[in-house]
Chains A and B, each alone.
Chain A
């Protein structure tokens, strides 16, 4: 039966184990599907719409009411309430009812008529990052336009043509080109990196789990026996079914995102496929390393969770890793998702070819070393266990 020992045999054993108890594979798959559906439906609109803002109208004039109407007409925000004083508005903001408010002081209209520049104050709640930034952006734009409208009226009265007026009011303007996400769509931004990050997270935990389970069920020996005593074959055979399954899921997710949901993919499909496969592989290697080095199953799961819970931050897609302290910048290289993310931005955003991506592909392959170390540790532990303890020697000697 020498031919029946090796990677293939371990793989058959693992498939049998999955068949006997498919609960966790199903749960994890459902977890990925749930996360995908969650983000897809949550960010369906691209950007949060109809953010509540307010106006503190202390002037009560024609002008202040017109400002309310203009805010309502601005895309993305709507006036939830008009308050009479600052305190009420502040309280509403503290309750989380509004994200920003304009304060129009008393006598604004008169000031305007008498050429004394009145002051408008825009208060923004930045404790809510996205809502605060977006409502600020919309209201500031509206404010600029309102100022422009007043200026335009003055120029019109002076007899300028409308074409010339624009040049007078706005001598310089930006023409912004957002590369890789022309609509500034949050769904595109979040999903393309968060979904692979969740998959990598689950792959790592699941790998650590299946190894920990062997230890808990005390089936390490039979597992290694199927691999002919070689822990590396045992590990490869064990992770291969999961590798194929999760690679398929990751590719499917990418296919839906870049294919059906229409997120831009500038570069080649093939590189994206390679990127996904290597991500799953590297995550599995990291899982094997942790579960291989730590013999206590609960502890190995705990360490895996602590390590991988930071992957979302250290992938650097939300807050750039370059702006973190130097230690964490270096530490982020220990995460497969970081390499995936850099490759993703090269392939999907800039359409770069293999020439740009190969160092990161290599880095993800280097995670294979962890697999070998994990296998070595398992082999070593098994040898330690197999060694007869001193007490046993004594009894046999007697």
Chain B
């Protein structure tokens, strides 16, 4: 038991030295997880589009249209920047991005209201960003509902109904809306928790890939493993390395997933203890996933930056936070569970933003443990295979050298005997 722990400790200390001895890894492990959350929290500090410029084309020039324009201007989302005499003028403003939306009141607007027909307001919206559309819709709808009530109330009063009767007639059922878990409906409150988890996922993954690439490039991947662990005890290498990254990432996780959301007033209903319990399999799964991919695919130190960073975007969409998991094509849904980011982000958002207890994220929690277990096995397996191949290569080169020196009789299959015989030969020479 003690020897096992000692082995793990040896590997761990080698790995810690490597991490702190590499400038690029330090940049990725320590600077990126600090910098990104802070920058993005600042970027999305204004959660919603406020006072979006709109143009008004009021051909009706009636009491109602003027009242609606005033109400539109009074909403937090919209601000009436221009009043145009015709649609062409407003269109020109829209094309020049001076305004993002046009509210057009046709000539027959007030006559239709007077005739008790449905009057129409035409809204043109710039779709270059859906947020412009959303602002126009939210602000516009609030005004529309209010205006409808005003007009209806006027009519009922004229028809001789009392205020109370009119209210009931207008609203037989009262609809109330409650927005949960992201009360302002802001982009930041939605996006930042996902981003924090993705930053943790990607920096940890990239850092591990870079360390693997570095070892490969300098042909020292075998030298980093203590000789007695190269056969049969490779799992201790995997565990030792994983422990190193785990120790580094626990404080980073607490900072990124607990303190930064607090400082920036993001919705946070969960508690630190639950989140930490959830994060343990997440970080482990990412570590073993990184080791597996790194050992299979990475051959250079700088190539992971080239090949994996842009994939963050795909990972973000695979989490199902934007496009709901149930609406995804089945293939992508299953594909998304190859990556720890999918259950990780889902689970974290549920725990932290939505205040779910751990029992409600059972599915994600189990998925992460399963991923961690599978990737642990693959990471160990890939490493063992690589050690095996490398040893084969060494034997071949040894044999080649021996054949050149001593003739065909010197071929052996056991590297130890080869080494021993080499040492003997050296001793004899001495």
A-to-B contact residues, CB < 8 Å: 24, 27-28, 31, 34-35, 38-39, 41-45, 48-52, 91, 93-96, 99, 108, 112, 115-133, 136, 140, 143-144, 146-147, 150-151, 154, 164, 166-168, 170-181, 184, 186, 189, 194, 197-198, 201-202, 205-206, 209, 212-213, 216, 296-299, 301-302, 304-306, 308-310, 312-314, 316-320, 322-325, 327-328, 341-342, 344-346, 349-350, 352, 356
Contacts and interface: CB of A to CB of B under 8 A. Distances in A.
Contacts of A48: 323-324, 327
Contacts of A297: 301-302
Contacts of A91: 356, 360
B190 A172 contact: no
A349 B127 contact: yes
Given A39-B317, A117-B172, A173 B179 contact: no
Given A39-B317, A166-B118, A180-B127, A127 B169 contact: no
Interface in B62-112: 64, 68, 94-97, 112
A31 B307 contact: yes
Nearest to A331: B43
A126 B185 contact: yes
B267 interface: yes
Interface string B351-395: 001111000110100000000000000000000000000000000
B313 interface: yes
Contacts of B126: 179-180, 345, 349
Nearest to A135: B324
A168 B354 contact: no
Secondary structure dominating the interface of B: helix
Nearest to A165: B116
A123 B354 contact: no
Contact of B350 (A94, A198, A299): A94
Residue from A48, A122, A123, A319 with most neighbouring chain B CB atoms (10 Å): A319
Given A112-B173, A172-B148, A323 B178 contact: no
Nearest to B120: A175
A286 to B, nearest CB: 15
Contact of A50 (B118, B134, B147, B326): B326
Contacts of B167: 117
16 contacts: A41-B331, A48-B324, A51-B326, A122-B178, A130-B322, A140-B177, A171-B116, A171-B147, A171-B152, A173-B121, A174-B140, A175-B120, A184-B133, A198-B313, A317-B128, A356-B95
Contacts of B305: 205, 209, 301-302, 304-305
B173 A118 contact: yes
A309 B309 contact: yes
Contacts, number: 323
A162 B20 CA distance: 77
B353 A127 contact: yes
Nearest to B364: A96
A167 B117 contact: yes
B152 A313 contact: no
Contacts of A24: 303, 306-307
Please name the 10 residue pairs, one residue from A and one from B, whose CB atoms are nearest each other, closest first: A345-B128, A126-B182, A94-B356, A298-B24, A48-B327, A181-B127, A167-B117, A127-B181, A301-B305, A150-B172
Nearest to B124: A177
A312 B313 contact: yes
Contacts of A341: 128
Contacts of B327: 45, 48-51, 131
B175 A143 contact: yes
Given A171-B113, A298-B23, A151 B172 contact: yes
Given A151-B169, A172-B113, A298-B23, A127 B267 contact: yes
Given A91-B360, A131-B324, A151-B172, 13 more contacts: A43-B323, A51-B327, A94-B360, A119-B173, A120-B175, A121-B176, A127-B349, A136-B177, A140-B177, A174-B140, A175-B123, A180-B128, A349-B127
B102 to A, nearest CB: 9
A316 B129 contact: yes
Interface stretch (B32-40, B229-237, B401-409): B32-40
A318 B95 contact: no
A172 B118 contact: yes
Q: How large is the interface on B (under 10, 10 to 19, 20 to 34, 35 or more residues)?
A: 35 or more
Interface string B11-22: 000000000000
B121 A174 contact: yes
Contacts of B137: 176
B127 A301 contact: no
B45 A319 contact: no
A313 B43 contact: yes
B173 A117 contact: yes
A93 B360 CA distance: 10
A34 B308 CA distance: 13
Contacts of A189: 127, 130
Residue from A34, A126, A323 with most neighbouring chain B CB atoms (10 Å): A323
A147 B172 contact: yes
B100 to A, nearest CB: 8
A176 B133 CA distance: 10
B185 A133 contact: yes
Contact of B180 (A120, A123, A176): A123
B419 interface: no
A129 B324 contact: no
A205 B181 contact: no
Given A50-B326, A167-B116, A170-B148, A125 B180 contact: yes
B95 A352 contact: yes
Interface in B130-154: 130-134, 137, 140-141, 144, 147-148, 151-152
